Copies of this chain bind each other. A is one copy, B any other.
Amino acid sequence: MASQKTVGVLLFEGFELLDVFGPLEAWGVHAQASGTCTIVMTAEAAGAVKSAQGPRAMADYALADCPPIDVLLVPGGIGTRREVNNTKLLEWLVRRAAAAEIVTSVCTGAALLARAALLDRHRATTNKLSFKWVTEQGSAVEWIKQARWVEDGKFATSSGVSAGIDMTLALIAKLAGVETAEQVAIRMEYEWHRDPQWDPFAKIHGLI
């Protein structure tokens, strides 16, 4: 990662905890080691945002006040069922995705990117348990049933919850080299699934 990057995370009520904090652990460990990235969290209003699991995280900025984002992270969680109808939020996503270098989603976060029409004519994946609902949010998307994550152009979409960690390590490898990503995984004592095709959950949920 040659230049300074800002990783920007969208929060909304009912976000899935690990969709946010799995990737942020990896980006954060990379930031601590390299000094080359900064993390910001944003939501419709700055302040505490309740997760799907109950614990609350702090949005540093309201959407309009959020600094420029280089790597955008859109989590999933039960709150996406409401936010797919939030025009203000979808318009914000369209503007910020256009300006970002990399746009990522974890789990049902892909539903928000799909409803913002950002994934049209792109390959993408999502949570396997909620696959039917998410894929109905974007009929022009080429949805991939079996994948840990899918990269297509500036978009990287991951499968459910913990898959966001594997995708993030792959993005760190792309930006800063595979050895750097390996060091981040070791620091997290995490067994990195490096193969984007590894996905036993597609079968468990009867998608293949």
Which A residues are closer than 8 A to B by beta carbons? 9, 16-18, 20-22, 24-25, 27-29, 31-32, 38-39, 41, 48, 51-58, 60, 127-129, 159-163, 165, 186-191, 193, 200-201, 204
Contacts and interface: CB of A to CB of B under 8 A. Distances in A.
Contacts of A163: 189
Contact of A55 (B21, B127, B161, B187): B21
A128 to B, nearest CB: 7
Total identical chains: 2
24 contacts: A17-B21, A17-B28, A18-B188, A24-B53, A29-B53, A31-B54, A38-B54, A39-B53, A39-B54, A39-B55, A48-B58, A56-B58, A129-B186, A160-B187, A160-B188, A160-B189, A161-B187, A161-B188, A161-B190, A162-B188, A162-B190, A162-B191, A163-B189, A186-B204
Contacts of A58: 48, 55-58
A18 B17 contact: no
Report whether over half of chain A's contact residues are helix, strand or loop; otherwise say mixed.
Answer: mixed
Given A189-B161, A193-B191, A25 B31 contact: no
Given A28-B17, A161-B25, A187-B161, A57 B55 contact: yes
Contacts of A38: 54
A190 B161 CA distance: 8
Contacts of A48: 48, 58
